[in-house]
Amino acid sequence: MRTFLVAVFVLVLPLAHAGIGAAQSGAAAQGANAPIGKVEAGKAHYAFGNTSCSNCHGVNGEGRYAPALAGRKITYERFRAYVRNPLGRMPAYPASELDDQEIADLVAYFDTLPPAPKPTEWRTPLPEGAPRGQQLAVAMIGCAQCHGATVTTPRHGAAEVSGDFEWFKHQVYEHTTAHREQLAILNQDPGLDPVTPGLVGPPGRNRLRMGNYSRARLPEKTLREIWDWMTTLGVHLPVLRASVKAGAPGPNGVTYTVEVVNAGAKGKGITNEDVTVSLALPAGAKVVTATGPYEGVKPDTEAKSEVAVWRVPRMPAADRQTFTITLAQPAAALRGVIRWGTPKVNEEDRDVPFAYSATGGRGRGGAGE
């Protein structure tokens, strides 16, 4: 299942120190009408994958990019008020993504955690010499604490539907609506795996892990600076992915099937030109035969091995290419990489790895995975 869009902007809950309030404890301090929080449920909500609070607040609530949550005796009322209408650098979370009971559960969990002596290091540090747009994304707004120093997931999302700045604004300011709209578009193609928000948590919860940013606290001018920086990286980061599976052994060897997909929305996503699929071969491996646009075996200094190469001139959105390769002897593992000619992107995001393991069955790689 594709997961790269699920994380386009994820839940960070960076509570400002000034918005927390004084320490209080006990059921009375939480208010007569507050739901009764369940510690184990709160721990599950806080876990990465269910929400992404820990990206900013630390794995144990010790503080990271955002203030500590552990052991601060935050009241339900204050925490709920901040989640629904934050004052700092976080989006607001409606009940559709984090309901009142879940908020109470989180508060109960935080109360069980000991205060930390100091915050941990940021998940995504600010690179030396970062341009203005990257400074905003990493250090001032915090997008990169979930999306990485080159904000790959929003760029994948833009590639899925050829998104422009208007698309970006919609995703940021009305994310809980916009992202579900995009998932619905992607799910119209029966040839691609269905995409759901997904989570590790209550079955059927299907929360989105990002709320909606306020234009008052994140002005469009600032958002434009981030977008303009993203364009210098190649704002449409291709959503190519691949998988490898082994078939039954035949008289001439073992045949492996390689499938490559452009996971963009059909008729809407970007087209990739000059797509190269390289599969690193085990030492001494002999290729018996191969199908598809196969170019043969070539040495590859980066892979430090010989690689079998396929080259596809053009892959529009939702295109699926299937190749096979038969090796004289079975391989315990295979690894490969997808590259493309256009659209051009920054160097560190230009490769999409994928892999196969005989012990693990089927390996897969791709955007955001």
pLDDT score, position 204: 59
Contact 101, 35 (CB under 8 A): yes
Where is average pLDDT lowest: 3-12, 184-193, 308-317, 342-351? 3-12
Q: d(Cα 60, Cα 114) in Å, to the nearest integer? A: 9
- pLDDT (mean) for 227-247: 95
Residue-level pLDDT at 29: 43
Number of residues assigned to the chain: 369
pLDDT exceeds 50 at position 17: no
Quote the CA–CA distance of 207 and 199 in Å, as a whole number. 7
DSSP output for 192-218: S-------SSSTT----S--B--TTTS
240-366: CATH class = mainly beta
CATH 2.60.40.1170 residue ranges for the chain: 240-366
Report how far residue 32's alpha carbon sits from residue 47's, in angstroms, rounded to the nearest whole number. 28
Report the range out of 21-30, 145-154, 300-309 with the highest average pLDDT: 145-154
In whole angstroms, give the CA distance from residue 70 to residue 109. 8
Q: 260: which strand partners?
A: 242, 321
What would the pLDDT profile of 69-90 be if each residue is shown by its tens digit?
Answer: 999 999 999 999 999 999 888 9
Burial class (CB in 10 A: 0-12, 13-18, 19+), 307: buried
Residue 257 CA to residue 259 CA, distance in Å, equals 6
Between CA 198 and CA 346 the distance in angstroms is 29
Mean pLDDT score across all residues of the chain: 87
Asked whether the beta carbons of 201 and 41 are under 8 A apart, the reply is no
Higher pLDDT, 367 or 308: 308
Digit-coded pLDDT (tens) for 290-312 = 999 999 999 998 888 999 999 99
8 A C-beta contact, residue 328 and residue 252? yes
